[in-house]
Structure formats: structure tokens, C-alpha cells
């Protein structure tokens, strides 16, 4: 299977479509549903990869992704970032300006690959089964710094296969079982795991060691690459010694050794800027990389010249002491000029601490802190209080009455210097035992907060005779279930205090009702623990009011914000079925407007039996996968015929649909 445009577009795998533009959910296995006691869903990963990847390189600050990933054979691969290089496998439109070099963020693809492999099997009657294996660099929302994610994916999609059959697919990294529907279609997608900025999660994926063109079969792979995505070829590298893609079951027994393969072998070592400290008129710079790397500290105009770093042979440690001319910069950049392309890393320049903590002791009733500083002025004990510092260079001590001491005390000076010391416990009685624990409900998963801070804002000088005027805006006109939106009252005039309140709509939570820029959040709608359908709607709107007060104590007229609650659109597929005594398969879709953002946690749907003539009962739950689809399967399923269902979503949607008996 060729991984680029071919003469017959119906016969190629578009790698960008194969992996999916934008990430709609972050999860491991997303198509297996549960909820009917001992019922078992057939679509699942049945044999997992024992190989995996073993290391991830330092982050390249040119684009914010790791310089490389390494497998157990010590092969390293890097992102292939050359739009005009056919071995990188880019399709038209992947890079905004294909005639210009790739650069971040203005001319950077929304997804790129460390490795991408694909294979396909032709099925009797014109159907196909398609395999995708990849280690992908992408963005949770858009091509911006701070949105970088890397994940490993295995995906099998079958269309036009045997209907209502259980098929087994084997590939170099494991085995997948898929239960097809009435049209002979089915799929499984596993992503491990899109986590913003956490590039170690991909080491746990089903990818690795990296596949390579089989060197025993001509032609040889292009120098410096795992293979050529423009032509199919036999591969090697399977930790199970199974370098094929095969299908069995439903009367089928097919296999192929041909794969499309893309990946650039990395000779880069990368670089990690470990620190830079200002010491008088010198900056001490610390970095790490592979042995024998060529690192330099990039010069910054008149402040200092470009300076090579020194290293003890074989250590991977690098150091430079740089003479400073004038004011120190806020940050320095270290470049590994031996890498092609050059890799780099940036770190802030820190000032040496002018304070030391000499004691941090808790006796059960009070926390005693001692410190000494060369600066004049009070010292701040973080979250505790202040220490007098009348005479610089002299130790000062104070006891603070607390019942819950911190594990570590941090003391800061007015100029920003700080020092820490673990707290030692010198006395105190045992804490009274508590009540018996309550059985916790299932964890709904993390919620991404994209709002800003909620601290106070220093108001600009105002005319004391001018009345205060409230102005309220929101970072977004809509609010997604389980999400947040930041409100902003700083455009109000004459305000010295703020007061927010909800006027109408479904209940929401304000992070603060007196902050200038609070964050409003709304809970999820349906939950996996629900036992009956919710009667209130999951959509609608929320009205929030802001009143500000001026320096004379007079309140303004209220300003209001209307936030639309955006619920997802649910649908139940017409092919949903229930065969009493055999199996049940209910499938559907969930879409949230035009959003392609990373939804953490993935959307959950709760499925209820609404067959006429009997009470509504819960069947189970399922998660929405990266393609916006969900599937609930059970074998053998309920022992009474189900003809209709209602589905409710954690994102606010509700839908009904018919279930056929066949």
C-alpha cells in the first residue's frame, strides 16, 4: 500500500486521513463497550506488543517536539520535516506553503510522523481491510506552542467483509479481533496516548521496534530512511517475527507481506538546556546531549559572543562560563550544530539565591522557620507568613501556629531569590482516625481548563466623580459540557471591586464571584453511573451578570453575558441490531459542532432500552472514539428483544433510534 497519491486514488492510503486530522479523543482502546454484566465485546486487542519503544530524546525548541524516539534495536527516528522530499510522504495541502521550508508555527503541518506504516488486503466482492501503524506528532487544538502531543496508533478498518462475523487480524505488533456489522464493516482504533507536552506516554504504545524494509529483498531502503512511502515492500522488525498483515474468520484466510513505510532515521543527538545561572558578570551554562556532540551557546548581540561548550569525554555533560557585557538576558539558547538539521534548547537565566533556610521544624502546634539573607527587607515564607530581616547576613527566626505544616518550606526575598528546606517533625500527637471510607464513584477523568488566572487586577487611575460602568465579555460565546470559559470584567471603568452572579440557565460554577477574570465551568451531562435518563435538556443558555463598585461605594448598572451551551449531536445508526440469544450491536455517532479539539476525557454515551410496553432500563455505556463514533456490543446480550433505544451523552446530547431484529 503506497503512502502517497497514486494513479488510482481508491487504491492508496492517505496517511493524514488514515490517522485523522485533529484529535477528537484521548484514550487507549476506545471501541470496546461494557455494561451488561459478563457480556463480552468482540472488537478488541487480543495480543499486545511485547516490544515497545525505550527512549525519547530532548525536545527541539524549534518546533516543540522530541528530537527523536529510540527502539530496542537502538534505532532512532526523527520527524521528517521537508515538504519537497518525497520520502517524507507529505500530501498536497499538508504544509501551508509547500514551496517554502517547514517552519514553526507559520508553515508547519498539523501532523507529522516519526514512523508510518500501512498495509491492505483485498476481500472477495470488492471489500478491503486497511491497517495503519504510526508514531504521530500532532496538536491538541491547533498549530500553536503548548499544544504538542505525540501518540502511537494502531488502526484496522474493514469494509465490505463478511457480515455479522468475527474476524481476526494479525500484524507485526499484535492481533486485533473485530466484530463486523450487517454491511461487513468494522474498525478498531487505539491511540496511546495524546497528552499535551508529555512525550513519554508514546513509549507505552503498541509501536516498536520500528519497521524497516527487509534488506534481503531488493531494492534496499533509501539511505537514512526506514523505507520509501511511494512503493510497497516487505518489512522486518516485528518483535513477534510476524512481518505480515493477515485476516482469518468469516470464511477468509488472506495475508500480505507488502507495506507502505515512512520514517527518517535520526543521526541527531538533540540537546537539553539544563540551566543557566548569573554569577556576577558571568553566566554559567549547563546542558546535556549524547557523547561527542557539538554544542554552542548562541551569542546575543553585545551581551556575549557565541561560545562552544566543553565536555568530559563520554559523559554527555556540557558546560560553558560566559563573560557578560552589560545586562543579562532573560534566556539563552543552546544549539547542537552537529545535528542536521541543527537542534536547539532554551532555558531562562536564573540569579543565584541570596537567602538560605537554616531551620524548618514542626512540633505539633507551631512551625518554626529560620533563615538568613544578604538582602534588606522582610522575607516571605510561602503560604505561611513573613520573617523580619532587619540586619542582612544575620539569622532570623519565627514560629507560626499551624496544624498542617507543608512538606517543604520555601523562603523568598523581595528581589525573587528563594531557597527551600524539608520540614522536620519534632513532636505532636497522632491525628484522630476518621469515619469509614465511602465507596468512590468512577473517575470521570481530567478536565482541561483553558481559562486564565483569577487573581485581582490593579485598576487604572479613574476620575473619582465618574460613575462606574460594568463591561462583561467572555473568551467564547459558547460553553461545552465539562468545559470552561473565562469571563473578563477588566474593561469596566471606575471599578475597584467586582461581583458576578448567575441569572438564569443550567447551574454553572464560577471560580470566583469577586475576581476580575473568573472562569465559569459547567458539569458533564449524562454520567456512566446514571441509572435512568435525564429529563432536563443538556443544551440551552446561561446568563451571567456583572456589577462593579467605584471608589465611592456606588454600584454600576449590571452588564450581562449570554453563553450558549453547546451540546453534541448524537445519532443511532440504522444498522443497529439485536439477535436474541446471539449478539447485540448498537452503534452511532457524536459530533460537537465544528470542534476538532482534544476532548479529555473522551465523550461517554449511556444507552437505555426504550422498547414499547415495558419500563425504560439501562443497557450500558460506551466511549466515543477518535473518529466521532461509538459502539456498544454484547454477546449474547439481553434475553428479550430490544427494538428501540435512547442514548444520552456526557456532552449534553440525546438521541433515539430503532434496533432491528436480524
Domains of the chain: 9-262 (no CATH), 272-350 (2.60.40), 355-416 (no CATH), 473-566 (2.60.40.10), 569-658 (2.60.40.10)
**Phi and psi torsions of 202, nearest 5°:** -70, -20
Task: Categorize the per-residue pLDDT at 16 as very low, low, confident or very high, splitting at 50, 70 and 90.
Answer: very low
Task: Categorize the per-residue pLDDT at 434 as very low, low, confident or very high, splitting at 50, 70 and 90.
Answer: low
Task: Report yes or no: 237 and 263 within 8 Å, Cβ to Cβ.
Answer: no
**Phi and psi torsions of 520, nearest 5°:** -105, 135
Q: What is the mean pLDDT of residues 456-482?
A: 73
Q: What is the CA radius of gyration of the chain?
A: 30
- DSSP for 11-43, please give it: GS--HHHHH-SS-----SB-S--B-STT---S-
**Which residues, other chains included, contact 45 with Cβ-Cβ below 8 Å and sequence gap of 6+?**
29, 154, 174, 175, 176, 188, 190, 206
From its phi and psi, is residue 146 left (phi > 0), alpha (psi between -120 and 50) or beta? left
pLDDT of residue 446: 42
Which pLDDT tens digit goes with each residue over 138-170? 998 889 998 899 999 999 999 999 999 999 999
| Alpha carbon distance 379, 411 (integer Å) | 6
**Cβ neighbours, 10 Å, residue 332:** 26
Which pLDDT tens digit goes with each residue over 254-303? 999 999 999 999 877 888 888 898 888 999 999 998 888 899 999 999 99
**Residue 531 cell numbers, joined:** 441509572
Q: What is the mean pLDDT of residues 305-325?
A: 92
Q: What percent of the chain has pLDDT over 70?
A: 88
**Burial of 468 from C-beta contacts in 10 A (0-12 / 13-18 / 19+):** buried
Which pLDDT tens digit goes with each residue over 489-524? 989 998 889 999 999 999 999 988 998 899 898 999
**Residue 643 cell numbers, joined:** 427494538
Q: What is the mean pLDDT of residues 183-192?
A: 91
Helix and strand element counts for the chain (H, E): 1, 49
From its phi and psi, is residue 20 left (phi > 0), alpha (psi between -120 and 50) or beta? left
What's the CA angle centered on 509, arms 504 and 511, to 5 degrees? 130
Task: Categorize the per-residue pLDDT at 220 as very low, low, confident or very high, splitting at 50, 70 and 90.
Answer: very high
The dihedral of CA 371, 373, 378, 379: what is its sign? negative
**Burial of 464 from C-beta contacts in 10 A (0-12 / 13-18 / 19+):** exposed
Which pLDDT tens digit goes with each residue over 229-268? 999 999 999 999 999 999 999 999 999 999 999 999 987 7
The dihedral of CA 415, 417, 422, 427: what is its sign? negative
Average of per-residue pLDDT values in the chain: 85
Task: Report yes or no: 137 and 102 within 8 Å, Cβ to Cβ.
Answer: no
pLDDT of residue 40: 37
pTM assigned to the model: 0.53
- Going from the C-alpha of 129 to that of each of 17, 134, 588, 656, the distances in angstroms are 15, 17, 21, 31
Element (H, E) at 390: none
pLDDT of residue 208: 94
Amino acid at each position: 500500500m503506497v503512502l502517497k497519491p497514486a494513479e488510482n486514488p481508491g487504491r492508496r492510503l492517505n496517511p493524514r486521513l488514515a490517522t485523522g486530522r485533529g484529535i477528537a479523543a484521548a484514550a487507549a482502546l476506545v471501541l470496546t463497550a461494557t455494561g451488561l454484566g459478563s457480556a463480552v465485546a468482540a472488537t478488541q486487542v487480543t495480543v499486545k506488543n511485547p516490544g515497545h519503544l525505550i527512549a525519547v530524546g530532548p525536545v527541539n525548541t524549534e518546533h516543540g517536539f522530541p528530537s527523536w524516539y529510540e527502539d530496542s534495536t537502538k534505532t532512532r527516528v526523527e520527524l521528517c520535516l521537508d515538504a519537497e522530499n518525497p520520502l517524507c510522504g507529505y500530501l498536497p495541502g499538508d504544509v501551508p506553503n509547500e514551496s517554502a521550508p517547514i517552519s514553526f508555527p507559520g508553515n508547519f503541518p498539523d501532523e507529522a510522523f516519526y514512523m508510518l506504516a500501512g498495509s491492505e488486503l483485498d476481500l472477495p466482492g470488492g471489500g478491503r481491510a486497511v491497517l495503519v501503524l504510526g508514531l504521530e506528532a500532532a496538536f491538541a487544538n491547533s498549530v500553536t506552542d503548548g499544544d504538542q502531543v505525540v501518540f502511537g496508533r494502531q488502526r484496522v478498518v474493514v469494509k465490505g467483509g463478511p457480515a455479522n462475523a468475527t474476524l481476526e487480524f494479525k500484524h507485526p505488533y499484535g492481533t486485533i479481533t473485530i466484530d463486523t456489522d450487517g454491511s461487513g464493516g468494522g474498525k478498531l482504533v487505539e491511540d496511546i496516548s495524546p497528552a499535551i507536552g508529555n512525550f513519554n506516554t508514546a513509549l507505552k504504545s503498541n509501536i516498536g521496534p520500528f519497521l524497516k524494509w527487509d534488506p534481503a529483498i531488493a531494492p534496499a531502503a533509501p539511505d537514512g530512511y526506514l523505507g520509501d512511502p511511494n512503493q510497497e515492500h516487505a518489512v522486518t522488525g516485528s518483535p513477534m517475527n510476524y512481518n505480515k498483515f493477515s485476516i482469518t474468520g468469516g470464511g477468509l484466510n488472506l495475508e500480505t507481506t507488502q507495506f507502505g513505510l515512512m520514517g527518517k532515521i535520526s543521526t541527531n543527538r538533540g540537546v537539553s538546556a539544563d540551566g543557566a545561572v548569573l554569577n556576577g558578570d558571568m553566566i554559567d551554562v549547563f546542558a546535556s546531549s549524547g557523547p561527542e556532540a557539538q554544542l554552542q551557546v548562541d551569542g546575543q548581540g553585545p551581551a556575549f559572543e557565541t561560545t562552544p561548550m566543553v565536555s568530559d569525554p563520554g559523559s554527555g555533560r556540557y558546560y560553558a562560563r560566559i563573560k557578560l557585557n552589560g545586562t543579562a538576558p532573560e534566556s539563552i539558547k543552546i544549539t547542537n550544530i552537529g545535528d542536521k538539521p541543527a537542534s536547539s534548547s532554551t532555558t531562562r537565566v536564573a540569579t543565584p539565591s541570596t537567602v538560605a533556610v537554616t531551620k524548618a521544624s514542626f512540633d505539633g502546634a507551631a512551625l518554626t522557620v529560620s533563615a538568613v539573607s544578604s538582602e534588606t527587607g522582610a522575607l516571605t515564607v510561602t503560604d505561611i507568613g513573613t520573617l523580619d530581616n532587619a540586619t542582612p547576613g544575620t539569622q532570623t527566626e519565627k514560629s507560626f501556629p499551624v496544624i498542617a505544616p507543608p512538606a517543604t518550606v520555601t523562603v523568598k526575598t523581595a528581589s525573587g531569590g528563594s531557597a527551600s528546606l524539608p520540614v522536620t517533625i519534632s513532636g505532636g500527637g497522632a491525628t484522630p482516625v476518621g469515619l469509614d471510607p465511602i465507596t468512590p464513584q468512577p473517575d470521570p477523568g481530567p478536565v482541561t481548563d483553558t481559562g486564565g488566572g483569577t487573581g485581582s487586577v490593579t485598576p487604572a487611575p479613574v476620575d473619582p466623580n465618574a460613575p462606574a460602568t460594568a463591561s462583561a465579555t467572555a473568551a467564547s460565546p459558547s460553553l461545552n459540557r465539562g468545559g470552561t470559559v473565562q469571563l473578563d470584567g477588566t474593561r469596566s471603568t471606575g471599578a475597584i471591586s467586582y461581583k458576578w452572579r448567575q441569572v438564569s440557565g443550567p447551574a454553572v460554577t464560577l471560580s470566583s464571584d469577586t475576581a476580575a477574570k473568573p472562569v465559569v465551568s459547567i458539569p458533564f451531562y449524562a454520567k456512566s453511573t446514571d441509572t435512568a435518563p435525564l429529563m432536563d435538556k443538556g443544551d440551552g443558555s446561561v446568563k451571567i451578570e456583572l456589577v462593579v463598585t467605584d471608589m465611592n461605594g456606588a454600584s454600576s448598572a449590571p452588564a450581562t453575558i449570554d453563553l450558549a451551551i453547546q451540546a453534541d449531536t448524537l445519532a443511532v445508526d440504522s444498522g443497529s441490531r439485536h439477535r436474541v440469544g446471539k449478539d447485540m450491536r448498537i452503534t452511532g455517532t457524536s459530533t460537537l459542532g465544528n470542534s476538532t479539539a482534544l476532548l479529555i476525557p473522551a465523550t461517554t454515551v449511556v444507552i437505555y432500552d426504550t422498547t414499547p410496553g415495558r419500563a425504560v432500563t439501562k443497557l450500558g455505556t460506551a466511549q466515543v472514539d477518535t473518529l466521532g463514533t461509538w459502539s456498544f456490543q454484547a454477546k449474547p446480550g439481553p434475553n428479550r428483544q430490544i427494538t428501540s433505544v435512547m442514548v444520552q451523552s456526557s456532552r449534553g446530547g440525546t438521541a433515539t433510534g430503532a434496533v432491528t431484529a436480524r
